[in-house]
């Protein structure tokens, strides 16, 4: 299950970044839906929303830690292969790996999806965000079952 979900996301992330780099000019925006959705190539040297700029060694370390902790947790969890919990961890893992590849190759993350009301992001960021939301939901759901007396 890990590879069935993670590899396509990782491929899509790296492929779309390659297309963006080859076809967009740095810091210039191309509107696809004017004032709603643009393609804007940026080099993000920070974390989400550009915070902690130029802390690449820290982000590489954190990404490697995420992979070190998430991958074994998934491999050791044989129950409920496609549970929201497992899928959420795979999404976070794939996103962390996608951005880690960028940081190791370039020293920054390639972002290009621009919704105009949100900082520019990429496929890996989307996977991490969706994974974090699913993870929170699965944890809340499991706590609700425990509190109601269900295992």
> Which amino acids are annotated catalytic?
111, 125
Signed CA dihedral, 97, 98, 104, 107: sign only: negative
Q: Which residues pair with 42 in a beta bridge?
A: 111
DSSP class of 121? B
Rounded CA-CA distance 1/75 in Å is 9
Yes or no: say if 43 and 102 are a contact pair by the CB < 8 Å rule.
no
Task: Give me the torsion for CA of 12, 103, 132, 72, rounded to 10°.
Answer: 90
Residue 40 is encoded by which pair of tokens?
A: 């804007």
C-alpha closest to that of 112 among 47, 53, 38: 38
Helices (H) and strands (E) in the chain, counts: 4, 3
């Amino acid at each position: 299950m890990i590879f069935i979900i993670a590899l396509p996301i990782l491929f899509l992330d790296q492929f779309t970044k390659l297309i963006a780099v080859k076809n967009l000019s740095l810091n210039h925006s191309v509107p696809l839906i004017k004032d709603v959705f643009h393609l804007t190539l940026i080099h993000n040297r920070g974390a989400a929303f550009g915070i902690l700029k130029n802390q690449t060694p820290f982000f590489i370390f954190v990404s490697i830690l995420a992979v070190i902790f998430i991958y074994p947790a998934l491999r050791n969890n044989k129950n409920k292969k496609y549970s929201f919990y497992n899928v959420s961890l795979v999404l976070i893992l794939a996103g962390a790996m996608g951005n880690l590849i960028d940081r190791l190759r370039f020293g920054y993350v390639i972002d290009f999806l621009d919704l105009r009301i949100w900082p520019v992001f990429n496929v890996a960021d989307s996977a991490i965000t969706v994974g974090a939301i699913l993870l929170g939901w699965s944890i809340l759901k499991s706590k609700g079952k425990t509190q109601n007396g269900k295992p």
